[in-house]
A and B are shown apart, each in its own frame.
Chain A
């Protein structure tokens, strides 16, 4: 096992990693930007070093300062969390060059899966179904040729993409040139890589992803699926759950088999997630995320596995210690992302000073957060401030618990997604289950009335 791990992240995931390390008896070093000096992640860590000012390119993406911190503090491993450097193959190589274990898969696996066009090709070779589409298209004309072949509507996607950036839906040929230019500019600005590819737009799909774990000895297991179909207009996830409601056994078995086969084909190690679009019994591979995911807690609650600890143990060269037959899910778990955002205004970020904060508790409720009363949400970073997770023996039990947990949650001073999450969990469509990825923007948002919870329950 490692002696000391550098946590190359901030916020709730930095705390989450710190907790896993401490439970394993491993010392931790936090890195932080100047505005994060008083953060909980810094206070929980055994040591902490400032690596730069607020803007991420000078702090949480400052590879020289981060690696130097790891070396001068005597770390032997680096956990990247999610976002920032988590899927940066070059960073993983630099860590290795300096004798630091990068807690994640091998750099070439990160590189291949991170390049979405390459990932689709590799998966295709592994016999995993992908949505009909193309390799890189250099011009709107090339995109149009592909679109005519596979049929509109299509999606233009950035090969370096993620989080919905550099992605455009195109309904027909007339919109293609403008959408191509917008997607390319956005991809260039977000990832310094403007290359796009075309994918057929699957109508009314659900977003269902499979969690896998692989050790350095060839053992690979899956830990079921997560349904992440509640997505904001920006395609960012808002509510996630496991198991996926109303998923046919045929589709479920196909997803598990494809995920294992894909992971074997690429020689995957550590924790990873394969994202699929599901439409009826049809499943299409979208992309593979070579890191821990934001929504990993729902899997942990149902499968009884600490995914972050498993990541660290695998990276330290320990065998998994269990096989697929040893894994027995129990019950249902749901997560709501609490973001500093104004849901009534297209989820615009709402950074600022937080007033009084009350988080929920009680049976079956887990809160992963780095915020507390009186702290400042800096404008430089992701707007997520907490994840509330509720578990139950049944889906209904978990949802009832989530309603209660959100009712107990009070965050003053800034706009948050607490109320909208409460309205989603109460919504009859969501309650029924099996909604598609366009449900939130197209069906739910038009009828959503931001209102105090008390007024809602009286209605």
Chain B
């Protein structure tokens, strides 16, 4: 049961909270107990918001090569290992499905940062197979 007074007070508080910069608000008295929290995904559209922190050193972003076909992974020969540098585009593996070997290519040069799978492993659609560092 919310009487009209309480309803009006909550609305007023909500309005003040939304237009301000508070992240959390808690009000308690004899008639009312209310807590409000601003969700991170919904920051205040405030003109006085502090400028963004300076961007950190650019993180290494890897290209992730994923499986398009459900099947069994077989490495191409010679098998690539982590740390291997690819001079150009090459075949890294096959996904064997229904008797067909579907090639997985590196799509350009780079360094193999991670090999996520093992020889003979069943893989699903979208499963990461290799991470490639293109900044070498």
A binds B: yes
Q: Give A contacts to B, CB under 8 Å.
A: 34, 49-53, 59, 64-69, 71-73, 98
Q: A49-B70, A51-B70 are in contact. Are A68 and B125 (CB under 8 A)?
A: no
Number of contacting residues on B, CB 8 A?
11
Q: Restricting to B108-136, which residues have a CB under 8 Å from any CB of A? A: 122, 124-127
Q: How far is the CA of A66 from the CA of B124 in the complex (A)?
A: 10
Q: Are A51 and B124 in contact (CB under 8 A)?
A: yes
Q: Is the interface of B mostly helix, strand, loop or mixed?
A: loop
Q: Are B97 and A68 in contact (CB under 8 A)?
A: yes
Q: Which residues of B contact A73 (CB under 8 A)?
A: 122
Q: Are B70 and A69 in contact (CB under 8 A)?
A: yes
Could you list 22 examples of A-B contacts with CB < 8 Å? A49-B122, A49-B124, A50-B70, A50-B124, A50-B126, A50-B127, A51-B70, A51-B125, A52-B125, A64-B69, A64-B70, A66-B70, A68-B71, A68-B97, A68-B98, A69-B70, A69-B124, A72-B70, A72-B71, A72-B72, A72-B97, A72-B122
Q: Which residues of B contact A49 (CB under 8 A)?
A: 70, 122, 124-125
Q: How far is the CA of A66 from the CA of B98 in the complex (A)?
A: 10
Q: Are A68 and B126 in contact (CB under 8 A)?
A: no
Most buried by B among A50, A51, A72, A98: A72
Q: Are A65 and B69 in contact (CB under 8 A)?
A: yes
Q: Which residues of A contact B69 (CB under 8 A)?
A: 64-65, 68
- Chain A residue nearest in CB terms to B67: A50
Q: How far is the CB of A235 from chain B (nearest CB, A)?
A: 34
Q: Are B98 and A98 in contact (CB under 8 A)?
A: yes
Q: How far is the CA of A50 from the CA of B122 in the complex (A)?
A: 12
Q: Which residues of A contact B125 (CB under 8 A)?
A: 34, 49-53, 59, 65
Q: How far is the CB of B68 from chain A (nearest CB, A)?
A: 9
Q: How far is the CA of A72 from the CA of B70 in the complex (A)?
A: 9
- Chain A residue nearest in CB terms to B122: A72
Q: Are A65 and B70 in contact (CB under 8 A)?
A: yes
Closest 5 CB pairs of A and B: A68-B97, A50-B124, A65-B70, A49-B124, A72-B122
- Chain A residue nearest in CB terms to B121: A72
Q: Are A71 and B124 in contact (CB under 8 A)?
A: no
Q: Which residues of A contact B122 (CB under 8 A)?
A: 49, 72-73
Q: How far is the CA of A64 from the CA of B69 in the complex (A)?
A: 8
Which of B70, B72, B98, B126 is within 8 Å of A34, CB to CB?
A: B126
The proximity string for B residues 5-37 relative to A, scoring 1 for CB distances below 8 Å and 0 otherwise, is 000000000000000000000000000000000
